[in-house]
Structures are given as structure tokens and as C-alpha cells.
Amino acid sequence: MPLPTPRSAFRNGDARLRTALAARRNGGPPLAVRAARASVARVRRAVDHAVARSPQSLFLRELVTQPGTVGAICASSPRLAARMAAWVDAAAPGVVVELGGGTGVITAALLARGVAPERLVVIEQSAALAAHLRRRFPHIHVVHGDAAELARLAAGADWPCRGADGAPLPVQCIVSGLPLLSIPLPVRQRILQAGAQALAPGGRLLQFTYAMRGPSLWQGAGLVGQARERVLANLPPARIDVLGHGAAAH
């Protein structure tokens, strides 16, 4: 029997969800409440199964339930992801950190670029997206957490990438897919400060934005703009900002 799509699962389960909520509010008979709860659980399982088959469906669900952490009408295009990855020096020592892994479009591009899986750490705030990334990329490090905690994580005992002496490997490159413009200002400031603090001297930070003009928000955290690239083939068109602690080396 084919699994339902997320839309059909929600549509078919809508009446059951209303019944369950009404039963809970009205203190209905225990058996009716349990039956309604079981119906809700079945609908949720059907949606989860359908979403698991389609990363785009997962992205759309997160867009609806957590719009502030997604911030775009569609996932990043492979073209944008490839252009982001092209700025990464896969042979450089240290760790590559991706902020906001989403469905894994940029993650896949980083691996295709040659970044070693054991040196790639993806920080994803959504539990559903983090679980998806672990299933899709079992050999990388996926951290279900807050990008605003990056500096603390990178220096902490739980940091997954360590050298022969046991010390945390430095963050050589940060690739950010975070929708900074749609993140509340206090949270955004913490993310910017944490990223700038975590980035190693000589390291590189990449951020894409849909704002085609103006300085990068990361410059407010003390990073210096080194280069930028426009990717018009993305929906919507995007700009890649390349930043570091100083001017780019020539």
C-alpha cells in the first residue's frame, strides 16, 4: 500500500485531530480520548514516513513549523551549493563547519569538493533535519544544536574533531546557510560573535544571502570582507560573501 503524501496525510487526519482536541478539552470518556490520541499518532507516523521519502517535503514541513530557522521559499540549489563549496580549501588543515545543514544540499557539495567526512561538522537546530542529515551522511559529524554556541562547542570536551594530542582541531572554514536576516537580532548577534570567535586565524567564512547589495552582517562582528560572488541561477538569486579576520592572502 503506497504511503500518503504529507498533504493527504494532513487532510485525511484533520477531522481526527479536531476530534482529539475537542475530546481533550471537554474531558471526554477515557476510551474516546485514548482512541483520539491513537488517531493523532497514526497521522503523525504517516506524515513522518512520507517526509522521510522526500527531503523537499521535509524542508517544506520545517518551513511551515519553523519559518524563522528556514527563511527561504525553497532549499538552496545545487548550483549555489557548488559555488559555496568552490571557495573551500578541502586540503587545508582543520575543521570545516557548516551552520544550518538543512536537507544536505550544501553538505553534499562540500563532500564532493573533497572535504573529508571526519573533518566536517554540521550544526543544525532542527531535530528533524539533524536526524535526516545523520541518515543521509552517516560518516560526518552532525550536532543538533545552536549555531550561537559554536565557539563554546569548538573549544569543549565534546568537540568531535581532535588532533593526535587530543586537543580540538581549529575551525578553518565556516560555511553558513543560516537565514541571518530573518533571525531575531539578539540571537543573530550571538551567532555572529560565536562564529567570529570560533574561526581560526587565517580561516575563511562563507555566507550566502539574498540581499544583493550592502555589507555582510558578519562584518559587524569584526570579520573583513575578502570577496563576493553572485549566483543568479539560484531561486531567489543569491550572493556569496567570503570573509576572514584580515585581508585575503594573494
Query: For residues 249 and 217, which has the higher predicted lDDT (pLDDT)?
Result: 217
Alpha carbon 247 to its chain centroid, in Å, reads 28
- Over residues 138-173, the pLDDT tens digits come to 999 999 999 999 999 999 999 999 999 999 999 999
* One-letter identity of residue 239: R
4, pLDDT greater than 60: no
* The architecture CATH gives domain 78-244: 3-Layer(aba) Sandwich (3.40)
207 is written with which cell numbers?
555566507
19 is written with which cell numbers?
476530534
Alpha carbon 133 to its chain centroid, in Å, reads 9
**For range 177-194, the mean pLDDT:** 93
* Segment (H or E) for 131: helix 127-136
230, pLDDT greater than 90: yes
**pLDDT score recorded for residue 15:** 60
As a whole number of angstroms, the distance between CA 247 and CA 103 comes to 33
* Domain definitions of the chain by residue range: 6-53, 78-244
